[in-house]
Amino acid sequence: MAGRLQNKVALVTGGGSGIGRATALAMAHEGAKVVVADMSVEGGEETVQLVAEQRGVAKFVRADVTSEEAIKGMVQETVAAFGRLDCAFNNAGMGGAGKRTHEHTEADWDRTMALNLTGVWLCMKYEIAQMLKQCGGAIVNTSSIRGVVGLDSGLSAYVASKHAVLGLTKSAALEYANHNIRINAVCPGVIETPMVTKALVAIDGYAERVQIMQPVGRLGQPEEIAKPVVWLCSDASSYVTGTGLIADGAWTAQ
């Protein structure tokens, strides 16, 4: 049986770890040729190796998605390697400074916004330009449950950036709705990745609170975000655009 992304070309930023890696693997499993973009050469190459082990096709492109030149090059390299760009998962992001709002420095704020928000916009800028040439495509941006509700644990810049990703997603979805380009976001709950493991240790009492607040009694796994992202990129979601898909084990339902 043909995979749900057969003959499609996909690009995943932050593909060298966590949610991005799981999604690159899932996309390749569904038949896509995948460009794994990451700042980390080691992580990115390892993902490509894992895709190869499951007999998929992937290529690593080193890209820092806080740099417009790097993003432009990443999209160009994707098209040069595989001829087009059908699905883009703008996922690279960071957790933020772990300080309360009045303790943030302007540099803390700018660092978070540069990656989590401006980076997503710049990726979309070049991806959409390519998709307009091809008359279609699907984009998924990584927001968060922190794009929907706030947090009292010193991550206000992160929360602001993830809310903004949702606003950007909705507006862009409207702009390109009649160009056959669908633009959605995914809002993960607490997913067991290296980023979260670090935060659970860094913020006092956070690990206990997170565990207690999980209605399903456990954290999510990266594969549980990869599957909805594959669906959002596939033709199965052809009428879904401009939405933020929450995958959080009912955390925000509380």
Q: Is 196 in the site for ligand NAD (CB under 6 A)?
A: yes
Query: Of these, 10, 115, 160, 168, which contacts ligand NAD (CB under 6 A)?
Result: 115
Q: How far apart are CA 191 and CA 167, in angstroms?
A: 23
d(CA 93, CA 187) in angstroms, rounded, equals 13
Shortest approach of ligand NAD to residue 39 CB, angstroms?
Answer: 4
- Is 158 part of the annotated catalytic residue set? yes
Stretch that binds ligand NAD, among 36-44, 100-108, 170-178, 207-215 (CB under 6 A): 36-44
Site for ligand NAD in 65-84 (CB under 6 A): 65-66
Question: Contact, 96 vs 71, CB < 8 A?
Answer: no
CB of 210 to ligand NAD, least distance (A): 9
Q: Is 124 in the site for ligand NAD (CB under 6 A)?
A: no
Residues 6+ apart with CB under 8 A from 93: 14, 115, 116, 119, 142, 161
Single out the residue of 4, 11, 29, 43 in contact with ligand NAD (rule: CB under 6 A). 43
- Of 41 and 177, which has the nearer Cβ to ligand NAD? 41
244 binds ligand NAD (CB under 6 A): no
Rounded Cα distance between 199 and 185, Å, is 23
Measured CA to CA, the distance from residue 121 to residue 93 in angstroms comes to 13
Residue whose CB is less far from ligand NAD, 73 or 136: 73
Sign of the four-CA dihedral 120, 122, 124, 127: negative
Distances from the Cα of 231 to the Cαs of 22, 26, 37, 94, 226, in angstroms?
A: 14, 10, 20, 24, 9
The binding site for ligand NAD (CB under 6 A) comprises 13-14, 16-20, 38-40, 43, 63-66, 91-94, 115, 142, 144, 188, 190-191, 193-196
